[in-house]
Amino acid sequence: MGSESDATAQVKKVSVKDELAGEMKGWKNFVDGVIDRYQGERRWLINMLFDIQSEFRYLPHFALEHLAKRLEVSLSEIYGIATFYKAFTLKPRGKHVVTVCLGTACHVRKSLAVLEEFQRALGIEPGETTNDGEFTLETVNCLGCCAKGPIVVVDGEYHGNMTPSRVRSVLKEVIRGGRDGTEKYRGAGDTPALAS
C-alpha cells in the first residue's frame, strides 16, 4: 500500500476543476447512499470506493473527503487504498474507455500500430482523456485473449484482430451508440468529433 506521504501528495494534486465538480447537485446524497448500503462499516471501504468510482468514472476528492468524515477514517488512509489498487483512478475518465493490449502476442501482431492510430484519431496519448471528456485511451499488458490479438476493449466490448484501418470504424460505432444501437449520448451536440 502507498505511504502516507504518497497519499498526502495525491491530496495536494486535487484540481480546482475537481473542487468545482463537488458543487454538483446530488453527489452528497449519492455518497451517503453508498455508505448506508454498506451500513457505514469500514470493512466495506473498497466496495464503497468501487461504487463511487462507478458513478463518477473516477474517485473525486470531494466524495473521498465526505466518505472519510462519515466513516471516521483518515483521508490519507482512503487515498492510500485508492492509489494502491490499479483498478481505482483519481483522474476523471472519459465516458468511453478504449484499452489497447500491448502484451507480447498482441505486440507481435502490430498492436503498437493500432495504438498509434487511436492516438491520431482521438488526439490524445495513453493515459489521457479527450478535452470533451468522451474518450480515455489506456494500454494494458495482457487481456488474456492472445489468440485474437491485437485486442482492443472499448467500454468492455472486445474487438479482436484489430488493424489500424478498423480503428476509426470502431470509434464511429461507439459514437453512433455501439453495436446494439443503444444511444449513449445525452443529446444533440454531444457527439464528439474524431481528429483528422
pLDDT digits (tens, 9 = 90+) for 78-110: 999 999 998 899 988 898 999 999 999 999 999
- Using CA atoms, how far residue 47 sits from 28, 34, 134, in Å, is 17, 9, 26
- Using CA atoms, how far residue 92 sits from 15, 21, 48, 62, 132, in Å, is 11, 11, 18, 13, 12
Q: Which residues contact 5 (CB under 8 A, 6 or more apart)?
A: none
Predicted confidence band of residue 156 (pLDDT cuts 50, 70, 90): confident
Given a contact cutoff of 8 angstroms between Cβ atoms, the answer to whether 151 and 170 are in contact is no
In this predicted structure, what is the pLDDT of residue 10? Answer: 47
pLDDT digits (tens, 9 = 90+) for 13-63: 444 455 455 556 789 999 999 999 999 999 999 999 999 998 888 999 999
Element (H, E) at 112: helix 111-122
